Amino acid sequence: MIQVIAPRLTPGTARLVVEDLRIVVAGTGTDVVDEVSFTVQAGEVLGLVGESGSGKTTVALALLGYRRRGLEMAGGRVMLEGRDLLAMSDAELQGLRGARVSYVPQDPGSALNPALPVGVQLREMLGAHRDSGGTRAGDRVMEVLAEAHLDASPEFLRRYSHQLSGGQQQRVAIAMAFACRPSLIVLDEPTTGLDVTTQRHVLETIRTLCRSYGVAAVYVSHDLAVVGQLAQQVAVMYAGRVVELGPTETIFGRPVHPYTRALLRAVPSPERSEVLEGIEGQAPRPGRRPPGCFFAPRCPDVLPVCRESAPPIIALEAGTQLVRCVRAGEPATRGVGIRTVVAGDPAKAPSGGTLEVRELCARYGLQPVLFEVDLRVGPEQCVAIVGESGSGKTTLARCVVGLHDNWTGNVDFCGEPLACGARRRTKGSLQRIQYVFQNPYTSLNPRKTVGQIVEQPLEHFSHLPAAERERRVVAVLDDVSLSPDFLGRYPDQLSGGERQRVALARALVVEPELLVCDEVTSALDVSVQAIIVELLRRLQRERNLAMLFITHNLALVRSIAQTVVVLSEGKVVEQGPVEEVLERPHDRYTIRLLEDVPKLAQVRVGGSR
């Protein structure tokens, strides 16, 4: 089902005009965001795209005249229906918030007060801003609930937020945001943490409500595919600046700024098996931004002039597309560029182990979580396990490596059956199967150096002399593209991507035959994710590794795995070669999953309509 993107409406009165917004760190004056300008019309959605550190949430909050502690508004205007929010008093802002501009938070679980029933939180929204509709508050609340597809009953209103699912919590937040019919809604990554199907429903709700009431919306996200489905305009932010701004079709179809293009090349697609291209390095934090263009250190098209002076803003396509790059005018830089298709690997002499799982049933305490799971990982093969939260995929990975021992069934590696828990397994089998954790911030001992962390398994499994161990540690760090300088650093000095690479190095230093990666990119930005995924692919080929790759991101599967196993509620609903399953799915769950995944390709292909 191809999504129809609503065409850009004819310019009416601009609901929101942001001019040269500048926000700095209080006290030091270091800029966090600067020169941010965009316009949003009634009924239109602007997608504000950026990775961590881009300042997008800071901008989003500023649209309500709000800033977090430690920040200060230092310049510019935020004009909502002609009135500048930044020039208003607290009392005036309080009157506007909720009534004329409202906010949908990223994490509804923590944005809803755990001590108050949701009904109270909904009603106070209506109570605080006199709704002049004439209907009684009680009826109004029910209306609001129904609009958001929630159970419009008094019983529901009595519930507390911890009694609701993630999707319901977010709908309550959306209901609160639309309750007073504001002119502008700011949504801050509202579907993070929701599973794909719930996400689709939530996006539908937002789209419908916006259209029905002519509400302007700013949708902040790092997920380009989602933005592509919802927004008519896109603003791309990098290191506190808007680097590209324009209609969705243009931005995704003919991006000009090198960062936008690099970002698009990093986004995985469930429709084509392509090599993902990440962006090496990190976005500069406030206070560490270089003179000249902020993206210059990482830019593939950089010129000497980029490092010296700030890039100009160049208008293209009859003024509808704005690009902050000195090379914007050059014809050769237009276009996305084609990504390399992942070729099937030529057959090699099989080495490495095979993993055979048969009738695996696992429980947490008395609660069963996996039911008769069968799967096989052949030598040098990558099998992706895909499922939503609660599907049991992490439990499966943990059973395989021995972190979870409450299971029955057979798990054989190279013909040798494995015991339930790691403590009961042979040293050899432990060495040959290695595991990488999801969260790079907690999987490394903060009191040890990178060198010690990576050396430790080598010390445990082998009896090599210290000099030889060190040599291998340096070699494996090199394999994951970390220089020997990293040996003496501590984890808190590294970025998320670097930490995950250290975790990978630790797993690889003992030369395993099977690598189990448990959602290893979920905590990382898209551009960093692409790097890690490509790294894994390369390492898999070079070291003849078999790999079990756990993820909830269906799109990612195509770029890394040959076989995919789809899990739902602890059962395998479908498995097979990646192309087969993704293009000709049989199971209803898989079909629905594929439909619900927002796809970037449609936007590009759809073009202008």
Partner 1 sequence: MVLINVKATATARSRRPHPIRRLVVRRLGAGVITLAIVSIVVFAATQILPGNAAYAVLGHNATPARLHALELQLGLNRSAVAQYAAWIGGLLTGRMGSSLANGQPVWTLVALRLVNSAVLVALSGLFGALIGVLLGAIAALRKDSAFDHALSVAALTVTALPEFVVAISLVILFATVVVQILPAVSLLPPGTWAWQQPNLLVLPVATLVIVVVPYIFRMMRAAMIEALESDYVEMARLKGLPVWRVLLVHALPNAVPPTIQVIGLNLLYLAGGIVVVEYVFDFPGIGQGLVSAVSNRDIPVIQLIVVILAAFYVFMNILTDVVALLATPRRRIAR
Partner 2 sequence: MAGLGTAIQHPAAGSGIARLRRREWLSVLSRAVRTRRGTVGVVLMAFVVAVAVVGPFVAPVSPTDFVTGPFSGPASGTPFGGDALGRDVLSRVLAGGWLLLLMAAAATLFGVVVGAAAGISAAYLRGWADALIMRTVDVVLAFPSLVFALLLVSIIGPKLWLIVLAVGFSHAPQVARVLRASTLDISERDFVKAVELQGVKPRLIMAREILPSLITPLTVETGLRLTYSIIIVAGLSFLGFGQPPPAPNWGLMINENRIGLQLNPWGVVVPAALIALLTIGTNTFSDAVARVALGVERRAEKDSPLEDHVLVAPR
Which residue of 181, 207, 307, 448 would you call a contact of partner 2, by CB under 8 A?
448
What, of partner 1, partner 2, none, does residue 443 touch, CB below 5 to 8 Å by kind? partner 2
The total of other beta-carbon atoms located within 10 Å of residue 466's CB is: 9
Rule CB under 8 A: is residue 371 a binding residue for partner 1? no
H or E stretch covering 527: helix 526-543
| Two tokens, residue 199 | 């996400």
Which residue of 470, 511, 534, 596 would you call a contact of partner 2, by CB under 8 A?
470
Q: Where are the alpha helices (DSSP H) in 46-136?
A: 56-62, 90-96, 108-111, 118-128
Rule CB under 8 A: is residue 300 a binding residue for partner 2? no
Is 11 exposed, middle or buried, given 0-12, 13-18 or 19+ CB atoms closer than 10 A?
exposed
| Of 431, 403, 560, 441, residue with least CA distance to 506 | 431
Which residue of 487, 543, 544, 601 would you call a contact of partner 2, by CB under 8 A?
487
How far apart (Å, rounded) are the C-alpha atoms in residues 453 and 273? 34
What, of partner 1, partner 2, none, does residue 95 touch, CB below 5 to 8 Å by kind? partner 1
Q: Which residue has the tokens 């129809």?
A: 4
Which residue of 66, 213, 371, 441 would you call a contact of partner 1, by CB under 8 A?
66
Which residue of 98, 258, 268, 598 would you call a contact of partner 1, by CB under 8 A?
98
Minimal distance in Å, beta carbon 126 to partner 1?
Answer: 10
Rule CB under 8 A: is residue 569 a binding residue for partner 1? yes
Taking CB under 8 A as the criterion, which residues in 390-429 touch partner 2?
A: 401-403, 422-423, 425, 427
The total of other beta-carbon atoms located within 10 Å of residue 413's CB is: 22
Rule CB under 8 A: is residue 128 a binding residue for partner 1? yes
* SS3 (DSSP) at 522: coil
Rule CB under 8 A: is residue 155 a binding residue for partner 1? yes
Interface segment toward partner 2; rule CB under 8 A; list 302-310, 324-332, 334-342, 444-452: 444-452
Residue 385's DSSP bridge partners are 550, 565
How far apart (Å, rounded) are the C-alpha atoms in residues 486 and 494? 9
Q: Where are the beta strands (DSSP E) in 227-344?
A: 233-238, 241-247, 313-316, 321-324
Instruction: Find out whether 33 and 204 touch, Cβ atoms under 8 Å.
Output: no
Please give the C-alpha separations between residue 297 and each of 283, 284, 306, 595, in angstroms, as whole numbers: 9, 10, 9, 39
Please give the C-alpha separations between residue 108 and each of 117, 118, 169, 173, 523, in angstroms, as whole numbers: 14, 12, 6, 7, 19
Minimal distance in Å, beta carbon 88 to partner 2?
Answer: 30
Minimal distance in Å, beta carbon 103 to partner 1?
Answer: 5
Minimal distance in Å, beta carbon 431 to partner 2?
Answer: 8
What, of partner 2, partner 1, none, does residue 316 touch, CB below 5 to 8 Å by kind? none
Instruction: Find out whether 419 and 495 touch, Cβ atoms under 8 Å.
Output: no
Taking CB under 8 A as the criterion, which residues in 194-223 touch partner 1?
A: 195, 198
Minimal distance in Å, beta carbon 143 to partner 2?
Answer: 38
Rule CB under 8 A: is residue 70 a binding residue for partner 2? no
Of residues 360 and 444, the one with the C-beta less far from partner 2: 444
Q: How many helices (H) and strands (E) does the chain have?
A: 22, 22
Of residues 412 and 569, the one with the C-beta less far from partner 1: 569
What, of partner 1, partner 2, none, does residue 175 touch, CB below 5 to 8 Å by kind? none
Of residues 90 and 542, the one with the C-beta less far from partner 1: 90
How wide is the angle at C-alpha 264 spanned by C-alphas 585 and 517, nearest 5°? Answer: 60
How far apart (Å, rounded) are the C-alpha atoms in residues 420 and 409? 9
Question: DSSP readout, 347-408?
Answer: P----S--EEEEEEEEEETTEEEEEEEEEEE-TT-EEEEEE-TTSSHHHHHHHHHTS---EE
Rule CB under 8 A: is residue 186 a binding residue for partner 2? no
Rule CB under 8 A: is residue 56 a binding residue for partner 1? no
| Of 73, 69, 66, residue with least CA distance to 31 | 73
Rule CB under 8 A: is residue 452 a binding residue for partner 2? yes
Rule CB under 8 A: is residue 123 a binding residue for partner 1? no
How far apart (Å, rounded) are the C-alpha atoms in residues 504 and 524? 14
Q: Three-class SS string for 450-470?
A: HHHHHHHHHHHHCCCCHHHHH
Rule CB under 8 A: is residue 451 a binding residue for partner 2? yes
| Two tokens, residue 132 | 């002049």
What, of partner 2, partner 1, none, does residue 309 touch, CB below 5 to 8 Å by kind? none
What, of partner 2, partner 1, none, does residue 114 touch, CB below 5 to 8 Å by kind? partner 1
Rule CB under 8 A: is residue 112 a binding residue for partner 1? yes
Sequence-separated (6 or more) residues with CB below 8 Å from residue 35: 20, 21, 22, 241, 242
Which residue of 55, 76, 167, 440 would you call a contact of partner 1, by CB under 8 A?
167
Interface segment toward partner 1; rule CB under 8 A; list 58-66, 131-139, 284-292, 310-318: 58-66
How far apart (Å, rounded) are the C-alpha atoms in residues 398 and 498? 24
* SS3 (DSSP) at 482: coil
The total of other beta-carbon atoms located within 10 Å of residue 422's CB is: 17
Of residues 95 and 368, the one with the C-beta less far from partner 1: 95
Rule CB under 8 A: is residue 120 a binding residue for partner 2? no
What, of partner 2, partner 1, none, does residue 484 touch, CB below 5 to 8 Å by kind? partner 2
Of residues 260 and 568, the one with the C-beta less far from partner 1: 568
Interface segment toward partner 1; rule CB under 8 A; list 15-23, 120-128, 508-516, 597-605: 120-128
Rule CB under 8 A: is residue 389 a binding residue for partner 2? no
Which residue of 208, 445, 481, 608 would you call a contact of partner 2, by CB under 8 A?
445
Minimal distance in Å, beta carbon 149 to partner 2?
Answer: 33
Binding residues for partner 2, per CB under 8 A?
401-403, 422-423, 425, 427, 430-431, 435, 437, 439, 441-449, 451-452, 455-457, 460-461, 466-467, 470, 473-474, 484-485, 487-488, 490, 492, 503, 506
Binding residues for partner 1, per CB under 8 A?
61, 64, 66, 68-69, 93-99, 102-103, 105, 107, 110-117, 124-125, 128-129, 151, 155, 159-160, 162-168, 176, 195, 198, 388-390, 569
